[in-house]
A and B are shown apart, each in its own frame.
Chain A
Amino acid sequence: MNFDISEEQQMLQETVSQLIENECPLSRIREIFEGTDGYDPALWKGMVEMGVAGLQIPEEYGGAGLEMLDQALAAETLAYAGAPGPFLGHALAGLALVLGGSEEQKQRWLPRLAQGEALGTVALAEGDNVWQPEQWKLAGGSTLLGQKAYVPYADMAGVIIVGVAGPGLVLVEKGASGITTENYDLVDRARQLCTVSFDSTPCEVLPEGAAASERVRDAALVLLAADAFGSGQRLLDMCVQYAKEREQFGVTIGHFQALKHQLANMALEIEPTRGLYWYAAHVFDHVQDESARMAALAKAHITDRTMQIARDAVEAHGGIGFTWECDVQIWFKRAMFDRAWMGTPSVHRERAAQMAGW
């Protein structure tokens, strides 16, 4: 019995953390927040070289052959640092191919994804809060006609895995005919999302796409839960730091019980959720019966906790917390993204209720 991460997993988190510190420190993240790309080429290149682009891709296809927990730990670390970039969509595209692709599709794409020669992404949403596989209306065959929404970094992607009614998942290559993308103006400047329109765009069916689509959804929920946990921890740490530095009435404000209790409550909300996201990641690979429900509950619970912590964090910083200059906004907005992408908490609580037979 060992409900803890391994030394290798701790090292993975430390290495990723170190990379971000070197390649994309807070000053650089702030620059990215002034633009709309949500992308840092040097950081992504460093992540690719480190193997983070292919964590869950089997070794025979050039990946690291690791598990959901490793991927989720990386997500936590990236979120804690406020790192921008296409990690989420890329990880999910790789997993979709691993779980749903034909041998030929895997051989063609997985090595390129693992080595960062191509960027992968997933097109799941259809607008009007449609995210879940069972809701997808876009018809998939040999061509696509219609639109997908909130697709991460679609304008940069070499391959897009598209969720469709029927076969579940299809693959569209960069430059396919009839494909157009348009960027959203997002609140979280560390991410980028696009609408993708298909006009008789050729596509390939993933043979196991129907079953894989459910697993990709669960994986997305786990990664968002891990991301939210990292963000929540960072927000709490920022507030604690500020409480130890900022002085009023002649003492640091951390002396005051009102603030101390507010920070303790934030810790009580976020710290216990670490075990929840670990468990949701663990069962993804090891106890598949529990996986879908745990992923749903983890995403719903942790993204809600972090959103509230982000609001508390603004308050705990006083007036400065409300400014563009204050770093709280970086994680406040990350929390908004994590909470909404793939469906809001209430959607996943209702799914969890159904799966419990309530």
Chain B
Amino acid sequence: MDLDYGKEYEDFRAEVSGWLSSNWPPKGELAELPLAEGAARFRAMASEAGYLNRNIPRKYGGGEQPPDAIKGQIIREAFAKVHAPMEARGIGSMMLVPTLLERGEEWQKEKFVKGTINGEIIWCQGYSEPGSGSDLASLQTKAELIGDEWVINGQKIWTTTAQQADWMFCLCRSEPDQPKHGGISYLLIPMKQDAITVSPLKQMTGGADFNQVFLEDARTPADHIVGKRGEGWSVSRTTLKHERNSIGNAAQSEAIFKGLVALAKTSQYNGRPALQDPTIRQRLAGLEGYILSHKYSGLRQFTKSAKGEDVGIIGLMNKINSTNIGSEVSKLALDLLGDDGMLDPIAHEEMTLLPTGGNRGWINQYMYSLGIAVAGGTGNIQRNVIGERGLGLPRDYYADRSSGK
């Protein structure tokens, strides 16, 4: 066990820091650009230098570097230190790009990857439907090939960034004669067409991060399909794997706990400063046990993946561990808020695990942590995955029957 990075990597860190000091904050004409544009130009330069989008070939605008988890970590640390922008987040770069790189046609990669990682093309995901949640493969949105176009009819739900999106990657039933999983195709559909209506879905917090999307004779060219007809389910598994992996993050858990300690330092509880109350002290230290376990599990996974080894069952646990922590932290926060716990949450800063907006931000977090726990598959679905893939328990009888395997 050695928690230092070693000389080779410390040299690399010095190289990255040196590059950053001459390029961030933006210099010369770049400094004159509007913030978003300056950041986009910076990202392109950092990709060119091989620091960002490292797993993406240069011809699609990536940094094209051999996999090296330790260098990746050093880059994250060095960029974070000077507040330089990392890869553009968003469902397009996090989920669509890896899928296209693995399963897409050459022209699809050329057309979509560069614009997506630069933030010029915005995507939304058309998976869930009102009748197809955990049992996603039962989806009913219909796609028919008429002439040289797919014609799509149906309804999607929980669609983040649908208003802003230029494109949707969408699962549709294109082969109605085939069994459940074999009848699905993975289509890329332009969002800016009259046949698509986006309607925001108001959440219990009062905010609206998600939408319903109605497709009524929506159209996309015949070749805008990833994989072959009927292969959509397996193509989507590539993507869902990326989503599950992206949700567990110990840095976020640590940050939210730090926020909780700060709240405790300024709160009163049972008529005295909260930090003098033995039950609060116990609960804080109890939570820290979970946070440290999550943190060092992350370090274990990091080491395993840097060595190219399988991370094992722990890799299936990140999502539930981080959402449990988010939930437990906000429960303690609500107790610290006391009377303020009756106020309306501040909803405008959603899509974040970290409360902002003072005490009322914690009320938002109290509810929002539940939303995060459900996103990308409910906790109970993930428990099935841990039980079946992690512990080797037999698959559920009903899931077995309909799996199409």
Chain A residues within CB distance 8 Å of chain B: 1-6, 69, 240, 243-244, 251-252, 254-255, 257, 260-261, 263-265, 267-268, 271-276, 278-279, 282, 286, 294, 297-298, 300-302, 304, 346, 349-350, 352-353, 356, 358
Q: How far is the CA of A304 from the CA of B278 in the complex (A)?
A: 18
User: Of residues B2, B292, B314, B321, which shows the largest number of chain A Cβ atoms within 10 Å of its Cβ?
Assistant: B292
- Interchain residue pairs with CB less than 8 A apart (22): A1-B6, A3-B1, A3-B296, A3-B302, A255-B396, A257-B380, A260-B393, A260-B396, A264-B384, A264-B390, A267-B313, A268-B317, A274-B297, A275-B295, A279-B292, A286-B3, A350-B282, A353-B281, A353-B282, A353-B285, A356-B285, A358-B261
CB-defined contacts of A4 to chain B, threshold 8 Å: 1, 300, 303-304, 307
Q: Is the CB of B288 within 8 A of A1?
A: no
Q: Is the CB of A257 within 8 A of B396?
A: yes
Closest CB-CB distance, A280 to chain B, in whole Å?
9
Q: Is the CB of A260 within 8 A of B1?
A: no
Closest CB-CB distance, B343 to chain A, in whole Å?
26
Contact A257/B304 with A279-B296, A349-B281 known, Cβ cut-off 8 Å = no
B40 at the interface (CB under 8 A from A): no
Q: Is the CB of B303 within 8 A of A2?
A: yes
Pairs A-B, 5 closest by C-beta atoms? A301-B289, A275-B296, A349-B285, A260-B387, A272-B293
Contact A1/B2 with A261-B383, A353-B285 known, Cβ cut-off 8 Å = yes
User: Of residues B293, B306, B324, B387, which shows the largest number of chain A Cβ atoms within 10 Å of its Cβ?
Assistant: B293
User: Of residues B9, B394, B395, which shows the largest number of chain A Cβ atoms within 10 Å of its Cβ?
Assistant: B394
CB-defined contacts of A1 to chain B, threshold 8 Å: 2-6, 9, 70, 73, 302-303, 306
Contact A358/B386 with A4-B304, A272-B297 known, Cβ cut-off 8 Å = no
Option from A267, A274, A349, A352 in Cβ contact (under 8 Å) with B300: A274
Q: How far is the CA of A267 from the CA of B387 in the complex (A)?
A: 9
Closest CB-CB distance, A252 to chain B, in whole Å?
6
Contact A240/B393 with A282-B1, A353-B285 known, Cβ cut-off 8 Å = yes
Q: How far is the CA of A247 from the CA of B395 in the complex (A)?
A: 15
Contact with A along B200-228 (1 / 0, CB 8 A): 00000000000000000000000000000
Q: How far is the CA of A265 from the CA of B390 in the complex (A)?
A: 12
Q: Is the CB of A300 within 8 A of B299?
A: no
Q: How far is the CA of A346 from the CA of B278 in the complex (A)?
A: 10
Closest CB-CB distance, B311 to chain A, in whole Å?
11
CB-defined contacts of B393 to chain A, threshold 8 Å: 240, 243-244, 254-255, 260, 263
B354 at the interface (CB under 8 A from A): no
Q: Is the CB of A268 within 8 A of B394?
A: no
CB-defined contacts of A5 to chain B, threshold 8 Å: 1
Q: Is the CB of A278 within 8 A of B1?
A: yes
CB-defined contacts of B297 to chain A, threshold 8 Å: 271-272, 274-275
B397 at the interface (CB under 8 A from A): yes
B388 at the interface (CB under 8 A from A): yes
Q: Is the CB of A278 within 8 A of B296?
A: yes
CB-defined contacts of A255 to chain B, threshold 8 Å: 393-397
Q: Is the CB of B1 within 8 A of A301?
A: no
Q: Is the CB of A267 within 8 A of B317?
A: yes
User: Of residues B275, B289, B302, B380, which shows the largest number of chain A Cβ atoms within 10 Å of its Cβ?
Assistant: B289
Q: Name A281's closest neighbour in chain B (CB-CB).
A: B1
Q: Is the CB of B303 within 8 A of A297?
A: no
Q: Is the interface of A mostly helix, strand, loop or mixed?
A: helix
Q: Is the CB of B392 within 8 A of A244?
A: yes
Q: How far is the CA of A349 from the CA of B280 in the complex (A)?
A: 11
Q: Is the CB of B391 within 8 A of A3?
A: no
Closest CB-CB distance, B135 to chain A, in whole Å?
14
Contact with A along B298-333 (1 / 0, CB 8 A): 111011101100000110010011001000000000
Q: Is the CB of B391 within 8 A of A240?
A: yes
B290 at the interface (CB under 8 A from A): yes
B284 at the interface (CB under 8 A from A): yes
Q: Is the CB of B289 within 8 A of A350?
A: no
Q: How far is the CA of A240 from the CA of B313 in the complex (A)?
A: 14
Closest CB-CB distance, B172 to chain A, in whole Å?
29
B286 at the interface (CB under 8 A from A): yes
CB-defined contacts of A301 to chain B, threshold 8 Å: 286, 289-290, 292-293
User: Of residues A6, A275, A300, A301, which shows the largest number of chain B Cβ atoms within 10 Å of its Cβ?
Assistant: A275
Contact A261/B387 with A1-B303, A69-B1, A349-B281 known, Cβ cut-off 8 Å = yes
B264 at the interface (CB under 8 A from A): yes
Q: Is the CB of A353 within 8 A of B284?
A: yes
Option from A6, A263, A273, A302 in Cβ contact (under 8 Å) with B387: A263
Closest CB-CB distance, B325 to chain A, in whole Å?
11
Closest CB-CB distance, B214 to chain A, in whole Å?
34
Q: Is the CB of A264 within 8 A of B1?
A: no
B180 at the interface (CB under 8 A from A): no
CB-defined contacts of A276 to chain B, threshold 8 Å: 289, 292-293, 296
Q: Is the CB of B320 within 8 A of A268?
A: yes
Q: How far is the CA of A4 from the CA of B309 in the complex (A)?
A: 11
B294 at the interface (CB under 8 A from A): yes
User: Of residues A2, A294, A301, which shows the largest number of chain B Cβ atoms within 10 Å of its Cβ?
Assistant: A2
Closest CB-CB distance, A238 to chain B, in whole Å?
12
User: Of residues B384, B390, B393, which shows the largest number of chain A Cβ atoms within 10 Å of its Cβ?
Assistant: B393
Q: How far is the CA of A268 from the CA of B293 in the complex (A)?
A: 11
Q: Is the CB of A272 within 8 A of B275?
A: no
Q: Is the CB of A264 within 8 A of B391?
A: yes
Q: Give residues of chain B (1-30) contacting chain A, Cβ–Cβ below 8 Å.
A: 1-6, 9
Q: How far is the CA of A276 from the CA of B289 in the complex (A)?
A: 8
Q: How far is the CA of A304 from the CA of B4 in the complex (A)?
A: 31
Q: Is the CB of B3 within 8 A of A282?
A: yes
CB-defined contacts of A254 to chain B, threshold 8 Å: 387, 393-394
Closest CB-CB distance, A240 to chain B, in whole Å?
5
